[in-house]
Amino acid sequence: MVEVSVCIGSSCHLKGSYNVIQTIQQMIEEEKVHDKVEFKATLCMRQCSGNGVAVSVNGQPYSVSADAARDFFMTTILPLAK
């Protein structure tokens, strides 16, 4: 099971966390890995220094922009879910 958390704290909200969440949810359904990915929103993850939204995959922190969320899913999350 791949654990994915997206920050919805105020800083990440302003950076586009809603769009990142929407994209990742859409990709989970498109790739039919909803049974292999535990996806949740969380409050501040103390990773606000990046230019993007704080995202954690199996405990590993990332900074993901809304524009890069699709590529991030394909290169980082999907290989772990297959």
Identify whether the C-beta of residue 2 lies closer than 8 Å to the C-beta of residue 81. Answer: yes
pLDDT at 67 over 90: yes
More confident residue, 40 or 44: 40
Superfamily of 2-81 according to CATH: Glutaredoxin (3.40.30.10)
Q: What confidence score (pLDDT) does residue 2 get?
A: 97
pLDDT at 50 over 90: no
Residue 13 makes CB contacts below 8 A (sequence gap 6+) with: none
Q: What confidence score (pLDDT) does residue 46 get?
A: 83
